[in-house]
Amino acid sequence: KNQVEQSPQSLIILEGKNCTLQCNYTVSPFSNLRWYKQDTGRGPVSLTIMTFSENTKSNGRYTATLDADTKQSSLHITASQLSDSASYICVVIGAGTYKYIFGTGTRLKVLA
Amino acid sequence: EAGVAQSPRYKIIEKRQSVAFWCNPISGHATLYWYQQILGQGPKLLIQFQNNGVVDDSQLPKDRFSAERLKGVDSTLKIQPAKLEDSAVYLCASSSDPNTEAFFGQGTRLTVV
pLDDT in tens, A7-18: 999 999 999 999
Per-residue pLDDT band for B1 (boundaries 50, 70, 90) equals low
Query: Residues of A numbered 49-108 whose beta carbons fall under 8 angstroms of chain B's beta carbons: which are they?
Result: 49, 89, 91, 98-100, 102-105
**pLDDT for the residue A90:** 96
Dihedral sign for Cα B48, A93, B29, B111, please.
positive
Most A-contacting residue of B4, B37, B48, B92 (CB-CB within 10 A), to test interface: B37
Residues of chain B that touch chain A, judged by Cβ-Cβ distance less than 8 Å: 4, 33, 40-45, 56, 91, 93, 98-99, 101-107, 109
**pLDDT for the residue A16:** 97
**pLDDT for the residue A78:** 98
Cβ contact (<8 Å) for B104 and A43?
Answer: yes
**pLDDT for the residue B29:** 95
Q: Which long-range contacts (CB under 8 A, 24 or more apart) does A92-96 make?
A: A92/A2, A92/A4, A92/A25, A92/A27, A92/A30, A92/A32, A92/A33, A92/A34, A93/A30, A93/A31, A93/A32, A93/A33, A93/A34, A94/A2, A94/A27, A94/A29, A94/A30, A94/A31, A95/A29, A95/A30, A95/A31, A96/A29, A96/A31
**pLDDT for the residue B82:** 97
